[in-house]
Amino acid sequence: MNKALEGNYKEVLITKLLNKKTTYWDVLPYDSKITYAIHVNSKKYGFVNQEKVQPKADIFFAKGTIEKADLEKRDYYLDEIDLVNFNLKPILNSGLSIKLSNSNYTITKISPNTFLKIFNSNMLGAGASIYSSKELEKNTSVIKGWSVEISDFKEYFSLKLGVSNIDLFDKDIMSLIKTFSNKELEKIIIQDKKISDLIFKGIGNFDEPFTATWLLENDVMKQNYYIPFSITTGSGRSKNIFTIVLKPK
C-alpha cells in the first residue's frame, strides 16, 4: 500500500475509533456524548496557495445528536456530507492532523510561489535548494527556477557571507550558502509565530475547522505543536520542480 492510500486508511480508521468513543477522548476537551469525528475528504481553498489543496486537518469535530443505530449502519464512519445528513455543527479550532506511526512524514512542502508569499523573498529558498556537493552545473537553473536573478543571488550572499566572489561551481561557497539559508529559514520559522502557525497548523491559510489544533502522532493524541524540523529539498529538484520541505528531526 502506498503512503497516500495508507494515510487515507488510517484517517478512516481513526474517524471510526473516535466515533466509537475510545480513550482518545480522554485528551480532547469536548463532550463525547454529543460530539462526533468528521473525516475531511475534499481539498480546501488555501488563501496563501490561492488554490484548493489538502488542508492541515484530516478530521474535525462537530456537535449534535446521532442515534447509535445510525452510527452502526455507517460502521461509525462520518464525513462532511453527514454534517448535513445529521444537522451537525462544526466546532471551530477542532481540526486533527493524523500522522502515520513511525513515519518520516512531511510537515509541509512549499513551492516557490507559496514561499514568496510567506517569506516575502525567494532568496533563501533558492539558497537552500542549490547543489553543494555534486551536480553544481545545475545551480544556474535552480536559482532561475526560484525566479531569482543570478546577479541578485550573488550580490545577496556576497553581503551576507562576506565573500567577494560567489562562484556557483565552488563546493565550499555553495555549502556555505546552503547552510546559511537553512539556518536563516529555521530561525525565521521558529521566531515568527504567524509563519509557525501557518506552517504547522495552517492558521491563516484555511478557514475553520480545517486548521490543525490537534495531532495524532505515533497513535498518541496531543495538542499540535511546533515540531522540531529539518529543511530539505523536494524529490523533484532534478526535474526542475523546486520545493522546500520540512521533515521532523
One digit per residue, the tens of pLDDT, for the chain of length 249 reads: 677 889 899 999 999 999 999 999 999 999 999 999 999 999 999 999 999 999 999 999 999 999 999 999 999 999 999 999 999 999 999 999 999 888 889 999 999 999 999 999 999 999 999 999 999 999 999 999 999 999 999 999 999 999 999 999 999 999 999 999 999 999 999 999 999 999 999 999 999 999 999 999 999 999 999 999 999 998 888 888 999 999 999
Residues 6+ apart with CB under 8 A from 121: none
> Which residue's entry shows cell 525565521?
188
What's the gap between Cα 52 and its chain centre? Answer: 14
CA distance 243 to 115: 9
CA distance 3 to 10: 10
The answer to whether 118 touches 108, Cβ cutoff 8 Å, is no
Task: Give CA torsion, residues 168, 231, 241, 211, to 10 deg.
Answer: -150
Task: Provide long-range contacts, Cβ within 8 A and 24+ apart, for 175-178.
Answer: 175/132, 175/133, 177/127, 177/130, 177/132, 178/127, 178/128, 178/130, 178/132
Count of Cβ atoms closer than 10 Å to residue 216 Cβ: 23
CA distance 57 to 40: 7
3-state helix, strand, coil in the chain (%, to 5): 40, 20, 40
Q: What is the pLDDT at residue 1?
A: 61
* Stated pTM of the model: 0.91
CA distance 150 to 8: 42
Task: Give CA torsion, residues 49, 53, 56, 57, to 10 deg.
Answer: 140
> How many Cα atoms sit within 13 Å of 106 on the Cβ side?
15
Which DSSP symbol is given to 76?
A: T
* Lookup: cell for 152: 541578485
CA distance 153 to 244: 17
Ranges of beta strands (E only) in 14-98 are: 35-39, 44-46, 51-53, 59-63, 89-90, 96-98
